[in-house]
């Protein structure tokens, strides 16, 4: 069985408060995008994990795909599987790629083994793997609060917009990015802002991580400026970075401007 874990972007991100457990309460819109890995499982005599594409800098047992499988194995009878991950979503990017792989693994094994674990329980399992992970169980646009694990569906479609996604050769550490932000409740809720035309988002919608990440990594700020110069209706860093996305009305061909970067351009479904 095969599936194609996709990335997400954050449309706005407010770091609202610090929690006693060290994590932060946030408010963000998670929006799925069609930048995808491929994840395959095959019934086998014994377990194996192989990985191709962008090399993941973690040993097999630390790969989030294997973590997700082991989590299910600790609760259910799971036959031995050969697992293969083809990595195409850059990591350290704010795109949630590793979390997507883990969430899709939970769903894939749930289906393959007929475990019938309901969505709420899958989300709960996913939240023990990573803050971004539960979103990918439902994988539809949501307003997220809490640590990013409390969801309200939003009526939002960016279908037809052209996305230009750029990840420079810089990785931003998520814990470090959180430690550099001064939490503050937003003046206007993101739920209200995304109800307004996309043309107005530039003036209204912020990613709180940009304030501290941009001075440290000017190259990321420069990518956002370039996307606006080239006509983006809205541009922002995603999550804690380092990727930046632009939404355009017309198809883009901007690869040549971003040498040395991962660039993905395409229309949103």
Ligand X SMILES: C[C@](O)(CO)[C@H](O)COP(=O)(O)OP(=O)(O)OC[C@H]1O[C@@H](n2ccc(N)nc2=O)[C@H](O)[C@@H]1O
Judged by CB under 6 A, the residue of 12, 92, 134, 141 near ligand ATP is 92
Q: Which does 56 bind (CB under 5 to 8 A by kind): ligand X, ligand ATP, none?
A: ligand ATP
Q: Is 83 near ligand ATP (CB under 6 A)?
A: no
Q: Shortest Cβ distance from residue 118 to ligand ATP (Å)?
A: 25
Q: Which does 158 bind (CB under 5 to 8 A by kind): ligand X, ligand ATP, none?
A: none
The closest alpha carbon to 17, from 241, 178, 163, 164, belongs to 178
Site size with ligand ATP, rule: CB under 6 A: 22
**151 annotated as ligand-binding:** no
Known active-site residue 121: no
CA-to-CA distance for 129 and 141, rounded, in angstroms?
21
Binding mask 185-224 for ligand ATP (x = CB under 6 A): ----------------------------------------
CA-to-CA distance for 238 and 206, rounded, in angstroms?
10
Q: Shortest Cβ distance from residue 192 to ligand ATP (Å)?
A: 25
Q: Is 95 near ligand ATP (CB under 6 A)?
A: yes
Q: SS3 for 132? A: coil
50-61 residues labelled b (16+ CB within 10 A) or e (exposed): ebeeeebeeeee
Closer residue to ligand X (CB): 81 or 158: 158
Known active-site residue 8: yes
Q: List the Cα angle 13/10/96 in 5-degree steps.
A: 120
CA-to-CA distance for 60 and 105, rounded, in angstroms?
14
**93 annotated as ligand-binding:** yes
Compute CA distances 124 → 17, 132, 175, 267, whole Å: 22, 12, 22, 32
Q: Which of residues 222-261 bind ligand ATP (CB under 6 A)?
A: 239
Q: Is 147 near ligand ATP (CB under 6 A)?
A: no
Q: Which of residues 36-65 bind ligand ATP (CB under 6 A)?
A: 56-58, 62-65
Q: Which of residues 113-132 bind ligand ATP (CB under 6 A)?
A: 132
Q: How many CA atoms lie within 13 A of 121 on its CB side?
A: 8
Closer residue to ligand ATP (CB): 99 or 127: 99
Tokens linked to 207: 């990613």
Closer residue to ligand X (CB): 126 or 163: 126
CA-to-CA distance for 17 and 27, rounded, in angstroms?
10
Compute CA distances 185 → 13, 33, 97, 128, 264, whole Å: 11, 27, 28, 26, 33
**96 annotated as ligand-binding:** yes
Give the neighbor-by-neighbor strand order of the sheet with 244-248. 234-237, 244-248, 162-167, 262-267
Q: Is 32 near ligand ATP (CB under 6 A)?
A: no
| Interface ranges with ligand ATP (CB under 6 A) | 56-58, 62-65, 85, 87, 91-99, 101, 132, 174, 239
Q: Which residues are catalytic?
A: 8, 132
């Amino acid at each position: 069985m095969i599936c194609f874990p996709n990335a997400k972007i954050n449309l706005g991100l407010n770091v609202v408060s610090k929690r006693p457990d060290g994590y932060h309460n946030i408010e963000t819109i998670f929006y799925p995008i069609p930048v995808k890995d491929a994840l395959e499982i095959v019934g086998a005599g014994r377990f194996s994990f192989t990985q191709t594409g962008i090399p993941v800098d973690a040993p097999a047992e630390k790969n989030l795909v294997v973590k997700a499988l082991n989590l299910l194995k600790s609760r259910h009878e799971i036959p031995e599987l050969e697992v293969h991950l083809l990595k195409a979503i850059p990591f350290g990017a704010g795109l949630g790629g590793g979390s997507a792989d883990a969430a899709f693994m939970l769903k894939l094994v749930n289906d393959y083994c007929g475990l019938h674990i309901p969505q709420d329980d899958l989300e709960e399992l996913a939240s023990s793997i990573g803050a971004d992970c539960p979103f990918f169980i439902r994988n539809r646009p949501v307003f997220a609060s809490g640590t990013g694990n409390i969801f309200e569906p939003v009526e939002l479609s960016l279908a037809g917009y052209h996305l230009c996604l750029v990840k420079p050769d810089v990785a931003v550490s998520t814990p470090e990015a959180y430690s550099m932000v001064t939490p503050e409740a937003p003046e206007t809720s993101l739920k209200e802002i995304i109800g307004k035309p996309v043309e107005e988002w530039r003036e209204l919608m912020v990613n709180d991580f940009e304030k501290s990440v941009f001075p440290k990594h000017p190259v990321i700020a420069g990518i956002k400026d370039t996307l606006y110069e080239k006509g983006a209706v809205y541009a922002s860093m995603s999550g804690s970075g380092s990727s930046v996305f632009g939404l355009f009305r017309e198809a883009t061909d901007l690869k040549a401007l971003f040498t040395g970067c991962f660039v993905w351009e395409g229309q949103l479904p």
